[in-house]
Structures are given as C-alpha cells and as structure tokens.
Amino acid sequence: MNFDPRYSGRNFSSVGTRPIRPDGIDKVTGRARYGADFNMAGQLVGRILRSPHAHAVIKKIDTSKAEKLAGVKAVITAKDLPDLTDGDAAMYDILDNSMARKKALYDGHAVAAVAAIDARIARQALKLIEVDYEVLPHVTDVDEAAHHHAPLINDQIFTEGLEEKPAKPSNVTKRTQFGHGDVHKGFAQADFIVERSFKTEQTHQGYIEPHACVASVNPDGTADLWVCTQGHFVYRQHCAQLLGLEASKLRVTSSEIGGGFGGKTHVWAEPVALALSRKAGRPVKLVMTRDEVFRASGPTSATSIDVKIGAKKDGTITAAEATLRYSCGPYPGSWAEIGAMTAFACYKLENVKTVGYEVLVNRPKTAAYRAPSAPMAAFAVESAVDELAHELGMNAVDFRIKNAAQEGTRASYGPVYGPIGIGPTLEAAKNHPHMKAPLKMNQGRGMACGFWFNFGGQTCTDLNIGMDGSVSLAVGTVDVGGSRASLSLVAAEELGIDYSQVKAIVADTSSLGYNDMTDGSRGTFSSSMATISAARNAIKVLRDRAAQMWDIPVDDVTWEKGHAIAKGEKYGNLSPLSLKDIAAKSGTTGGPIAGHSELVADGAGVSFATHICDIEVDPETGATRVIRYTVVQDAGKAVHPTYVEGQYQGGAAQGIGWALNEEYIYGKDGRLQNPGFLDYRIPVCSDLPMIDTQILEIPNPNHPYGVRGVGETSIVPPLAAIANAVSNAVGVRMTHIPMSPPRILAALDAEREG
Amino acid sequence: MRYIRPLSIEDAVGELAKAVGPAAILAGGSDLLVRMKGGFIEPELIVDIKAISGLADITETADGFRIGAAVPCAVLGENKAVRKAWPGVVEAANLIGSKQVQGRCTITGNLCNASPAADSVPALVAAAAKAVVAGPSGKRTIAVESVPTGPGRTSLAKGEIIEAILLDKRPEHAGDAYLRFIPRTEMDIAVVSAGVNLTLDDKGAIKTARVALGAAAPTVLLVEEAGQVLVGSKLDEGTLERLAKICSGACRPIDDKRGTIEFRRKVAGVLAQRAAAIAYKRAGGK
C-alpha cells in the first residue's frame, strides 16, 4: 500500500460543513431497523434463565420438565456450548460468562436458556427448569474483595505482576505500574502536599436499545446473525470460535444501534441464541429485557483510588502518585491498568508513579464504557489538583496551565507527545465567558481536564461509482456516532463532488475484509483514512478511463474538483470530464469503477478536553442542579461539526449522570437492587442545561485531514469538574461518586457537626 | 386471562366477587400493565372500570367534589374548580410518572396501588379526602388513610371497588400544598414527601392543619401532632422548627436504593416546612 497518511494542510470544501444526517428520516419515522426489528419466518423466542445468587456452585440442572412443555423447541445449558477455546483464557471467560459452567458468579449470570414458539411459553419453560445451587459467600465491594479475608471468586488466580509469585490465590488478579523519576525525591521537594482517597460506584452505559439478535444456524455449518453491535466482525470471530463454526460461514449483519458506548463491544447473549438455533433447527430471536441488561451485560468498574500530589510554592508539581483499584466483575481484566495509564496524562511531571490493581467481585463482567477507566482516575487526580491549587492560593486554571503537558513531554504512561491540545483547551477555558460569569448563593464552579488515547486499527472499505455518477461507500466499522455522514463528507471531499452524491452503508461481514470494532474513538478516524485511500484508488481508475476516452497518456490526466483535466497546452481543446461523464461511459471503457482500501490506521492522535461547570446545591436537602456546563475539546479536524458537538454534549451528559446519581446498588444478599431506569437514575432532559461546546482544531499529523477521535474524551472530565463545583459550592471536599443527595447531605452534616 | 368491561358498578363488583383466580381492576393501568409486563403478576381476570357510568366524571356537589375512579390525573389537572380549591392535591396528582402516564393514571389507582411513595396520597390524606367503596354488601365511605395497610396491601375486601374520591368544599382562607424529594427533576418516585393542608382564621392565624408524609413509613403517615403544632401560629420560625422536628421524629423510614433513614428523616422535616409555607401563602397568610 502506498497511501500517504500525513497531514497535508489542504483547504476543504465538504469537510467541516454540517449537512443533514443520512439516517435522519429513517430514525424519526421509525423505519430504522434496530436489533429487535429483524424477523425470520418460523423464528422462535429465546429466553435465558439467570442465577438469583451472587456466588453459587451449580450442582445440578434438571431441564426435563421444560423440555416436555408443548411449544418448547430447545433447552440448553453449558453442556450445549462445549469448551472449544483451546487454552485461550480470555475466550473461556467469554464462554463462561455467556452460560455459567460450574459456578454462578453474579446475580444475573446465565445458567440455562430455552427457545419456544412464543414468549409466554418460553417464560413458563424457564420456571420449569430446576437448578440445584450450593450458595457460597460472595463479595461485591472492590475494597472488601481485595482484602485477603474475602471470599475467593476463582481459586486458580494468583496475583500477576508482583516481584515474587504469591503462594495463595487472590481476588487481585494483576498489579501494573507506570511512571518515571523518583516520587520520594519529588515529595521531599514539595512545599504543599495533598493526599486523599476516593471512591466511585459502578455505572452502566445506559444505552436505550437493549441487546437483541436473531440467530439462524443451518445443518450445513453456515449461519446468520443479525445483531445490534459495535463490531460485527469481532462478534463473528468470537461466536464462530465459541460455536465451532468457520468464520467465513457465519455472516453477521449489524443493525442500527440505539447506543453502545462500549457495552456492545462484547458478546453476551449472542452465542446463546446461536446455540439455541443450532439445537432447535430454527431461527431464534433473543432480546434482553432492561433488567437483564443491567444485571448481565457489561457495566464499568467500581473504583477505590488513593492520590498524592506535591507542589512547590511557585505552583510547580514536584511529584504525583496514585494507587488505583478497579473492579473487573468475576473475570480478569485490565481496567485499573488503563486508569493507571491515563491518571496523570494531562501533566508534565518529573516524578510520577501509578499502580493499578485489578480486582474480582461478584458483579457482572466489566466492559468498556466510553474512555473506559479514565473518568474515575481523572476524578481522583483532578479533585486533588483542584485542592492543591486552593492550598497554594493559585487559580485552578493557572495551576493546570503551569503544569500542562506539551509537545515533547514524556507522558506518565511512557510515550513522548507530539502536538497536543491540553494547553490550548486550558487557555480557551480560561478565556471563556463562563469562567467570569457571576455565581449566586449556594452555587459553585468547577473545572477539570481529561485525556484519552484514541485508537486506529484494522479497516477495510469499498467505494463504488455507479453509472449515474453516484457513489456508494461500504464500510465495516459500525456507525455509532455519525460516521456515515462524516465518511460521506470525506468521500465527497476527496472526489471533489457533492455530499448528496454519496451514500454510505455499513456492510456485513461477508462483504468486506475484517474491521476492528467501533471503539477507541476510531470510527471516523480510521474509516476516513480508509475512505480517502479508497477514493484515491478510484481516482486512479477515473483518470485512466478519461485517458482512454481522450486517447491520451494517463500521466497527462489530473483530477481536480471532481473532473479529469487534460494537462498541458496541447490538450487545450479538451473540456474537462466530470466524474458523471466518465461513469456514464464506464461500460465501454473497462467496466465498473471502484476504489478499495485495506489498512491499519496508525497514529491516532491523543485527545484532551477541559470542562467547566456551575452547580447549585440545596444545603437543606443535598439536591443539586447543573446551572451551566461548557466543554472545550480538541478534535484535530471536525469533519461534521454538529456531530462533534453532539459527542461533546453526550459525553458531558453521561458524565453528569455518573457524577450525581447513577450507581449500581447491591443488597447484602449480593443482588442488584435497581436494575431499571426508575431507580438507576440517568438524567432526563430537564435535568440538564444546554451544554455549550467549543471545538479546537490542533491537527493530528498522522491523518491527511488532521482528524482525531472525538467520541470518548468528553466523558473523562465531568466527574471531577462536577465534584470540584459541588465541593466549591458547599465548602466540603466530595470524595465519593455519585454525589447523590443523601451523600451530599451526610457530608454537610458531618461538617456542621465538626 | 379474561378481560371484561362492565357498564355498571354492580356488574363490576359481581364479577370481582365471584372471580376464582387472581383478579385486577384496570383504570389507567399505569401500575397494573407495568407489573404484568414485568412478569410480577398474572391476573386471570381484568375488570376495566372505564366504561362504568359516572366513573370518568368530576362532579361538584353541595359538599365539595366527587372525583370518579377512572378520571385521569391530567383531566383532574385541567379542572379549574378543583385546581382552585385543592391546588396541592392537583399538583401531587400531576407529579406522577411522565406527561404520557398522567394522561392515563388516576388518583384512585395511586391510592389502591398502596405504595408508601405514592405522590397523590399524602396530599389526599392532608386534605382529609374520603373514598367511596362499592362492594357486595353495598356502599361505604371511608377516610383515604384507612385504605393502604402496607406496601402493596389495602383494607379493601374481595369484590370491593373504590368508585370515587370525595374532597370537601373549601372555606375562606384555606390552602394546601404537596412537595416531594426526587434526585431528578421529573419521571421519578418520591424518596420522601409531605402534604400540608391549612385553614386560617380572619386574623391569619392557622385554625386547622393536617400534615401527611409519604415514603417515610410502610404507609402514608398522617402526623396529627404536626398539625397541632401549627394551629394558632402564623408559621413563625420557632413553629417551623418544631414542625420539622415532629415530622422527622414521626418517620419510620428504611434504608433502600432510593435513600437512607437519616436522609428521609431530615428531608421530611424540610419538606413539611416548605409545604406549610406554600399552603399558608395560598390560604392568604402573610
């Protein structure tokens, strides 16, 4: 591949405009097909039986009564999903999470499933399945689980990453460490030190569309899966491996997606639906209820974090240290590791050390949630940074500006930064009118910074030009946040045609080569790179066809503004040929015109944001209201600014919910108490102010248009920004997220009582 | 499952009285349908009372108002006479669920669902509202606070239906108010709540007072002592402090997913104070 991804500093005609979204009509009229909107003739209804226990040995499952019920076509247990993972521990965990094999590891863990001719019979059948459990002691709290007295969730796990291999198994699966310099030396140089411990509760992505799929397995070893997912190629790999199918014979089609935010990067019920279909010999539709989504999909980690930061009187940070404990659910993960990498990424530090501990708990398996692990680390660090600024008597923005990372700074997690946006977002925040707006009684202002790595990865794209000159673009990264609009703009830009001439679709797994899933804010970054490459390949063909039509050497044909131009004096009489002119003749000049590309998009530019918010607190009830909220973030280049603003606002909205009210609440029995949107409180529309946004564009040198991912960074600062605002409003440092009214009132009462 | 839509209260009572399996009454359905969908109940008989003559009407009588059991809360909210006489009851009824839910749900259903957190019930209790109960042995009128006996349980016997809620005619200088605490702005359930109903004498001192608390005990609480402490006062600071203390003390709350014991105790007092101030102002007090 001779594609040059370097930033070229070109002027744009399509990129940066705000055309209406291509999926808008379908979505507002209800025609858009989401996961539960697929149907097949003869399909059965699948339902899953789930453990009511947080931790229990499955001694016996008797499915005989359910099997005899009229209308039941298949009943499965773990026996119907034999272990084909061949020593791949991560895949084994996915298998075990899909259907518990020996132990139920959390309230909601799948233990059996049925396929029946309707939902009523399926529900009745579940009641007829008899499971003999031996209930074990459980642990759901991250700190309790890390304690050596805690009930062991997996006695085969010994903490990795310690200097000596431990003699006893532990719920702590791994220790990781990052940093450089000498923090002891650094703290010795400090005039002021802030040291605090923080906790955050577990939250769910809260996507409105529950997981849904239709699975159809044929006796010849071919299968189809229609599913709501962020990555249908990844679902294909995982399901094929778990079911023993050949990947190419399992065709996965992704539906429209009603939100994913990381939670649809992982298979949950899909292998079960396929196993049911295989056993029943008919298609099976499986739609999770909201209760099941909360109990048995992949929420984010609960955390417990200790932070220590020291600074000189002049405001220079001399050392920074953090210890981070993240819950992983019952299977090992690398969530604390990511938290440890991101914690101090905004700052230029000589001495920095972060240590992460991954902790098993009897809760559902942790999955990615928008910049996974970073918001909690930022909450702890940015709270301490704010407090340190207060102690130094420095303005919180100026203190951050003084210590902000720059081009050439060695990041706390290792690499040396290229051109980055932390300094500019801080300067923009400092100069924003929001910073100077007056505050009323019981109101406080807070700010915080956030960082996310971003990712590129494997991408494969087809661009086909129709004989009428219209362009269809087939991509394999699922459109989660508006990438079809952005990629159409990019194709139009590169080809020099109008946006309305391009139609982008998400192709199924049998139509394109492998694509990584839409995570790491990679959708528009990586697919736009592939689209540019595909368009440039198509332009080569277009030039060749024009050369044929003119009967001149192809080297004398250039491509400008959507037209082939014959260059040089000698061709003065040839009028340019439009893309449409060339397409119309394609049948006689060599057949269809297309451009293909496959690439690994490297060099995803890191992304930074600074948020400002004002909160009003009712000191008698602890009730909070977000009065004003501003997001400043670097986009590299905003391909479709309205979508970029939407990403900024969406991340802030989710962060506000997380900061103030969202949390998984477990009873002493280890059961989730609030598996529904009534008591798992995401913000409703009237809870939020209009979230103001400011897009900065510091080009990513590794993308032709300078694009950086924008989807995730916006959820990193809100927890801290809101905690700082509440703390400033009430005069008490808030250290436990969510800052629900009972927690705020309790903190205020403790302060009043001294 | 059998669904019937009788045209008379006698037929409805008769069907319920002879039902063998679990039976349910359907008005707005905003609790019933959710519970059926969630698989928590599977009734064999559903008696829809919306077609029964008079049950969808609000009538003004010599004694006050008669609000039929099938009157949606949104319809109640558009009735100017009830809104003027009992603004606290009406605002409580229009806090339930969302706009869409308010188009279906009823205050009688809210009462019979017997949730301690029901929004309209503390306001109705403070208002000394009564329920007209039709049953196999005729009709009786009872105080609303005697309907719920615990979470999800009522004092109604088999075959009995509440056909209407009665609210008294208002004297001069009267006002009521209802406030609830929710962590969000809407579409939520009360963590704790307070309803206050006052009448004033000609000098602006409180003549009668009733205070009720929601989500503070297994049933909505009528706190008689709290009403007594208000009588004779003009809501001075000392009275308000005593009111809060009495309300906090009267609570028998639990720790749960919606709030802590401490929080509910404290905020019950705060809300009672604030609701009393609104009711006092509505009654013309200064």
Contacts of A609 (CB under 8 A, 6+ apart): A425, A449, A450, A631, A632, A633, A634, A648, A713, A714, A716, A717
* Chain B nearest C-alpha distance from A680 (Å): 9
Q: Which two tokens stand for residue A521?
A: 């804010």
For residue A339, the tally of other CB atoms under 10 A from its CB is 28
Instruction: Name the helix (H) or strand (E) containing A160.
Output: none
* Chain B nearest C-alpha distance from A617 (Å): 12
DSSP letter (8 states) at residue A80 = G
Residue at which a domain ends, from B168, B196, B222: B168
Judge whether B91 lies within some domain.
Answer: yes
Contacts of B265 (CB under 8 A, 6+ apart): B216, B248, B249, B251, B253
The rounded distance, in Å, linking the Cα atoms of A213 and A229 is 9
Q: What is the pLDDT of residues B244-268, one digit of tens each?
A: 999 999 999 999 999 999 999 999 9
**What is the mean predicted confidence (pLDDT) over A256-281?**
97
The CATH number for B194's domain is 3.30.390.50
pLDDT score at B72:
98
Mutation choice for A interface testing from B185, B191, B264 by most A CBs within 10 A: B185
Q: Are A684 and B183 in contact (CB < 8 Å)?
A: no
A residues 592-651 closer than 8 Å to B (CB): 620-623
Q: Which residues of B touch A122 (CB under 8 A)?
A: none
User: Mean of the per-residue pLDDT values for chain B?
Assistant: 96
pLDDT score at A684:
95
pLDDT score at A75:
98
Residue at which a domain ends, from B135, B150, B168: B168
Q: Are B185 and A679 in contact (CB < 8 Å)?
A: no
A745 touches chain B (CB under 8 A): yes
- Say whether pLDDT at B213 is over 80: yes
Q: Are B183 and A660 in contact (CB < 8 Å)?
A: yes
Contacts of B199 (CB under 8 A, 6+ apart): B171, B173, B174, B206, B207, B208, B209, B283
Q: What is the pLDDT of residues A318-341, one digit of tens each?
A: 999 999 999 999 999 999 999 999
Give which of A713, A512, A704 is closest to A4, Cα–Cα: A704
Contacts of A483 (CB under 8 A, 6+ apart): A475, A477, A504, A518, A523, A524, A527
Q: Which residues of A touch B267 (CB under 8 A)?
A: 620-621, 741, 745
Contacts of A625 (CB under 8 A, 6+ apart): A615, A616
- The residue written with tokens 């600071």 in the block is B237
- Say whether pLDDT at A516 is over 70: yes
**What is the mean predicted confidence (pLDDT) over B57-66?**
96
User: Mean of the per-residue pLDDT values for chain A?
Assistant: 97
* Chain B nearest C-alpha distance from A744 (Å): 10
- Same domain membership, residue B188 and residue B102: no
- Say whether pLDDT at A442 is over 90: yes
Main-chain phi, psi angles of A57, to 5 degrees:
-80, 135
Instruction: Provide CATH code, domain A303-393+401-413+427-448+605-752.
Output: 3.30.365.10
- Bridge partners, A108 (sequence order): none
pLDDT score at B38:
83
* Chain A nearest C-alpha distance from B66 (Å): 32
A124 touches chain B (CB under 8 A): no
Q: Are B185 and A684 in contact (CB < 8 Å)?
A: yes
Chains A–B, number of C-beta pairs less than 8 Å apart: 55
A residues 38-57 closer than 8 Å to B (CB): none
Instruction: Name the helix (H) or strand (E) containing A378.
Output: helix A374-392
Range of the domain at B271: 174-282
A residues 681-720 closer than 8 Å to B (CB): 681, 683-684, 686-687
Q: Which two tokens stand for residue A656?
A: 């506000």
Cis peptide before A22 (omega within 30 of 0): no
- Same domain membership, residue B153 and residue B61: yes
Contacts of A172 (CB under 8 A, 6+ apart): A146, A159, A357, A358, A359, A360
pLDDT score at A485:
97
Among candidates A681, A687, A742 on the partner chain, residue whose Cβ is nearest the Cβ of B263: A742
pLDDT score at A197:
98
Judge whether B63 lies within some domain.
Answer: yes
**What is the mean predicted confidence (pLDDT) over B102-129?**
98
Q: What is the pLDDT of residues A339-367, one digit of tens each?
A: 999 999 999 999 999 999 999 999 999 99
Residue at which a domain ends, from B168, B199, B221: B168
Burial readout B68-102 (b: 16 or more C-beta within 10 A, e: otherwise)? bbbbbbbbbeebeebeebbbbbbbbbbbbbeeebb
Q: Say if strands A352-359 and A317-327 run parallel, antiparallel, or are unpaired.
A: parallel
Q: What does the domain layout of chain A look like in residue ranges?
A: 35-136+210-257+264-296, 303-393+401-413+427-448+605-752, 456-601
Q: Is the Cβ–Cβ distance between A294 and A325 less than 8 Å? A: no
* Chain B nearest C-alpha distance from A672 (Å): 10
- Say whether pLDDT at A586 is over 60: yes
- Bridge partners, A137 (sequence order): none
| DSSP character string of B202-228 | TTS-EEEEEEEEESSSSS-EE-HHHHH
- Bridge partners, A595 (sequence order): A463
Predicted-complex ipTM score:
0.94
- Same domain membership, residue B192 and residue B141: no
| DSSP character string of A604-645 | PPPEEEEEEEEEEE-TTT--EEEEEEEEEEE-SS-SSHHHHH
Q: Are A741 and B191 in contact (CB < 8 Å)?
A: yes
pLDDT score at A333:
97
- Say whether pLDDT at A1 is over 60: no
Burial readout A612-639 (b: 16 or more C-beta within 10 A, e: otherwise)? bbbbbbbebbbbbbbbbbbbbbbbbbbb
Q: Are A686 and B39 in contact (CB < 8 Å)?
A: no
The rounded distance, in Å, linking the Cα atoms of B101 and B81 is 23
pLDDT score at A160:
97
- Same domain membership, residue B95 and residue B81: yes
- Same domain membership, residue B180 and residue B97: no
Mutation choice for B interface testing from A208, A616, A620 by most B CBs within 10 A: A620
Q: What is the pLDDT of residues A175-205, one digit of tens each?
A: 999 999 999 999 999 999 999 999 999 999 9
The rounded distance, in Å, linking the Cα atoms of B267 and B245 is 11
pLDDT score at A754:
76
Q: Which two tokens stand for residue A305?
A: 């974090």
Give which of A441, A681, A614, A644 is closest to A525, Cα–Cα: A644
Q: Which two tokens stand for residue A431?
A: 């100069």
Chain B's closest residue to A745, CA to CA, is B263
- Say whether pLDDT at A411 is over 90: yes
**What is the mean predicted confidence (pLDDT) over B133-141?**
97
- Say whether pLDDT at A708 is over 90: yes
- Say whether pLDDT at A569 is over 90: no
Q: What is the pLDDT of residues A682-707, one digit of tens each?
A: 999 999 999 999 999 999 999 999 99
pLDDT score at B40:
87
Main-chain phi, psi angles of A348, to 5 degrees:
-95, 110
Q: Are B263 and A746 in contact (CB < 8 Å)?
A: yes
Q: Which two tokens stand for residue B70?
A: 């099938």
Mutation choice for B interface testing from A124, A294, A687, A752 by most B CBs within 10 A: A687
For residue B58, the tally of other CB atoms under 10 A from its CB is 18
- Say whether pLDDT at A2 is over 80: no
Beta strands across the sheet bearing A557-560: A557-560, A563-566, A577-578
pLDDT score at A433:
98
- CA angle, A686 then A656 then A743, to 5°: 100
Q: Which two tokens stand for residue A177?
A: 């460490």
Fold of A35-136+210-257+264-296: Aldehyde Oxidoreductase; domain 3 (3.90.1170)
Q: Quickly state the pLDDT bin for B37 (edges 50, 70, 90).
A: confident
The total number of structural domains that make up chain B: 2
Among candidates A291, A686, A745 on the partner chain, residue whose Cβ is nearest the Cβ of B185: A686
The rounded distance, in Å, linking the Cα atoms of A706 and A548 is 35
The CATH number for B135's domain is 3.30.465.10
Judge whether B41 lies within some domain.
Answer: no
A residues 268-297 closer than 8 Å to B (CB): 291
Fold of A456-601: Aldehyde Oxidoreductase; domain 4 (3.30.365)
Judge whether B30 lies within some domain.
Answer: no
- Same domain membership, residue B206 and residue B134: no
The rounded distance, in Å, linking the Cα atoms of B80 and B103 is 17
- Say whether pLDDT at B286 is over 90: no
Judge whether B141 lies within some domain.
Answer: yes
Contacts of A754 (CB under 8 A, 6+ apart): none
Chain B's closest residue to A686, CA to CA, is B185
